[in-house]
Amino acid sequence: MFVDSVSWKGGRLLFSIHNNNDFDLPLLIDLMIISLNLDYEIQSAGAQPIQLSGTQRTKLKDVFINLNHKETLLTEEQYTIPPNAQIPFKVNYMTTLKSLNDLVTERMRNAGHKPVPGSQVLIKKINYNLEIKFLNPQKNTPEALKVNFVKDEIKNLKFSLKP
């Protein structure tokens, strides 16, 4: 997806994208997630919790996100932001259930654990690494702006595992 302009309207950030539709985000730039780190605890039915952290921490470079009610895979796409655009970095991310389910299921299988039907994953901590890539209109060269966001306590965030 290519963003050709960014503007403010009614206290919200408004993106105009290549298909001429306006995409309205309440806080900020959900669509520009590039990588996501998860510290999570796996709770299987009738089993002790399995804790994965440290070297087992998962890092995604392509993340499915909920974009305009469609599942969209974002990679290294370019975004054009007009000069002097003021963007406050207050971030509210939405990631799809599918990406986390697939992610944790894969990690469990790699660790030799077979998911039990009805198992759940409790996300203990999410560390977002946000990289916004845009073209400098004056230099016509890609530039990157990175923002880190960490949320330590996440309540009621559980995902059912696929066996």
pLDDT: is 114 or 80 the higher one? 114
The identity of residue 53, as a single letter, is S
Separation between Cα atoms, residue 119 and residue 45, nearest integer Å: 5
Structure tokens at 70: 């469609």
**Amino acid 81: pLDDT:** 35
Residues 88-115: tens digit of each pLDDT:
322 223 333 445 555 556 655 665 655 5
Q: What angle do CA 103, 134, 128 make, to 5 degrees?
A: 30
b/e per residue 21-40 (b: at least 16 CB within 10 A): eebeeeebbbbbbbebebbb
Residues 4-29: tens digit of each pLDDT:
444 444 433 343 433 333 333 322 23
